[in-house]
Amino acid sequence: MISPRNPSRIRKLQPVSRRCAGLANLIKALGFTAIIFLCPAHGAEIDNPPPFTITEQQALKLFFERNIDLILAHYDIESGVAQQIIAAALPNPSAQADFNEINSMIWTKQISPNSRVSWAQGSFPSWGLRIEQMIITAGKRTLRIEGSELGTQGLEYDLRNTVRTLSNAVRHAYYALLLAQKSAELAQSNLERYRKIVNANKIRLDVGDIAGYDYTRIEVESLQAESDVDTTEAEFKRAQAELLLLMGWPEHAIDIQATGQWPESAGDGIGLKPQNELIKQALDKRPDLAASKIRVAQAEKNRELAKRMVIPDITLIGYYLKDPGNFYVSSGGVGFKLDLPLFYRQEGEIAASMTELNKARVFIQQSEQNIHADVINAQASWKSAEAITHSFEQSVLQRIEARRKAVEFAYRKGATGFLELLDAVRTYKEMMQEYYNALGDRSNAWADLIMATGQEVH
């Protein structure tokens, strides 16, 4: 306890107590500021919602539900069904009615051989009714019905082919998003590692342990790492937009992240099958080839229809006439009419239909050749990507990780220079990026192989 008899000591301690009080107030202010910054505001939660995580299967589900191209393809099928209704329709009969008025008439009656009496009868109406009905001959209506049914089947196969190609695009977009995420995480981790190196070497620079030129080299590497973060972030946004476009831009899903894993290394067993077996499977399952075959059958129906169009359709006619001005007041009859194929016998339509049939047959050959090429290229790409990925996983990843850790430990102990450290960090980052690229290439090759063989994976 300070005695009142020592006023000098009290005067000496008073500035110290004031300084302590000021320090306490500063600590309180800093604490309050920290609370403000650390506690998220309610408005911030609304403006920055958490990212929407999505798996590959969820992405495909949204694609099937919301993709505009698929919706348009469904409308094409509805148009085909409408064409079937049109082809099956029977011609409607036509009716014609005429009404006329006969002027005042004078009727004369013979009373005797030498005399007769005449008197006015007034005006009398006359009317007539005519009905016509076309009869389609030579089975042309049946051919139109069968051709339109085949056309609708072709549109259904077109829809399946659209699903095949666009679902592959969805998988590619999903793997691109996953690759962009991995690249962004790698770039951020690399930047944090460089920041630690910069902070550690700043202390060494201050004590004169390293030269300023060496420290500048480290700062340049750190700036390059920051640039890599910006680049990967831009690529990540681009990959997000591409996948969202294919999924029809779901609500509240602007910021999405991929949560699934890369496809299994065995490629679902498809890549390990013999090439001939894969080609046979593709020839049996590919909807584009099935659509080409359907259109050959449709072209054959159209060619036969063009030949039968030479046979004219017959129009049956029936009429009734009520005419008081004629000798026979009531009359009626039936008849028919048709076009005589004397000068033109559908030669142009027959030639055009034959051309379309030949083109459809060539499209089958083209589809088969494309299938062979697609399967061979897809399997070769998958095997190459699988071999590269396997090499990374078996040896490269362990070696580059062990080297980076060893060089970092040696640098902390002063057993190696900063150039070796920068080289190890840079090599690790580059090789990890190559590994992620290899995983992306293998995943895309797997998706291409699925598409090439026509296998439906849900």
| Band (296; pLDDT cuts 50, 70, 90) | very high
Which pair of tokens denotes residue 353? 């239909």
Per-residue pLDDT, 185:
92
Q: What is the rounded average pLDDT of the residues 153-172?
A: 93
From CA 222, how far away is CA 229, in angstroms rounded? 11
| Band (5; pLDDT cuts 50, 70, 90) | very low
Asked if the structure places residue 297 within a domain, the reply is yes
Asked if the structure places residue 75 within a domain, the reply is yes
Per-residue pLDDT, 1:
36
| Band (167; pLDDT cuts 50, 70, 90) | very high
Per-residue pLDDT, 103:
59
Q: What is the CATH number of the domain that holds 339?
A: 1.20.1600.10
With a CB cutoff of 8 Å and minimum separation 6, the contacts of 153 are 294
Q: What is the rounded average pLDDT of the residues 116-125?
A: 59
pLDDT digits (tens, 9 = 90+) for 225-284: 999 999 999 999 999 999 988 888 777 667 888 887 888 765 557 777 888 999 999 999
Cα–Cα distances in Å, from 344 out to 93, 307, 339, 340, 365?
27, 12, 11, 9, 35
Provide φ and ψ at 342, rounded to 5°. Answer: -95, -40
Asked if the structure places residue 115 within a domain, the reply is no
Per-residue pLDDT, 199:
86
pLDDT digits (tens, 9 = 90+) for 143-155: 999 999 999 999 9
Asked if the structure places residue 224 within a domain, the reply is yes
Per-residue pLDDT, 42:
37
pLDDT digits (tens, 9 = 90+) for 385-440: 999 998 888 888 888 888 888 888 887 777 777 788 888 888 899 999 999 999 99
pLDDT digits (tens, 9 = 90+) for 241-257: 999 888 887 776 678 88
Per-residue pLDDT, 110:
54
Number of domains in the chain: 1
pLDDT digits (tens, 9 = 90+) for 19-43: 444 434 433 333 333 332 333 333 3
Domain holding 134, by residue range, is 50-101+124-453
Per-residue pLDDT, 44:
37
Q: Are 302 and 147 in contact (CB under 8 A)?
A: yes
Q: Is the pLDDT of residue 330 over 70?
A: yes
Per-residue pLDDT, 310:
93
| Band (16; pLDDT cuts 50, 70, 90) | very low
Q: Are 219 and 198 in contact (CB under 8 A)?
A: yes
Spell out where 136-267 has E strands: 256-258
Per-residue pLDDT, 211:
78
Q: What is the rounded average pLDDT of the residues 325-332?
A: 75
Asked if the structure places residue 26 within a domain, the reply is no
The residue assigned the tokens 């393809």 is: 73
The residue among 427, 438, 434 whose CA lies nearest residue 381 is 438
From CA 412, how far away is CA 425, in angstroms rounded? 14
| Number of neighbours of residue 139 by Cβ within 10 angstroms | 13
Average pLDDT, the chain: 82
Per-residue pLDDT, 24:
40
Percent of the chain with pLDDT over 70: 81
| Band (206; pLDDT cuts 50, 70, 90) | confident
Q: Is the pLDDT of residue 107 over 70?
A: no
| Band (158; pLDDT cuts 50, 70, 90) | very high
pLDDT digits (tens, 9 = 90+) for 53-89: 888 888 888 888 888 888 888 899 999 999 999 999 9
From CA 185, how far away is CA 224, in angstroms rounded? 16
| Band (384; pLDDT cuts 50, 70, 90) | very high
Asked if the structure places residue 337 within a domain, the reply is yes
Percent of the chain with pLDDT over 90: 48
Q: Are 375 and 278 in contact (CB under 8 A)?
A: yes
Cite the DSSP H helix spans in 247-286. 275-285
Return the higher-pLDDT residue of 15 and 275: 275
Q: Is the pLDDT of residue 48 over 70?
A: no
* HEC per residue, 72-115: HHHHHHHHHHHHHHHHHCCCCCEEEEEEEEEEEEEEEEEEECCE
Asked if the structure places residue 389 within a domain, the reply is yes
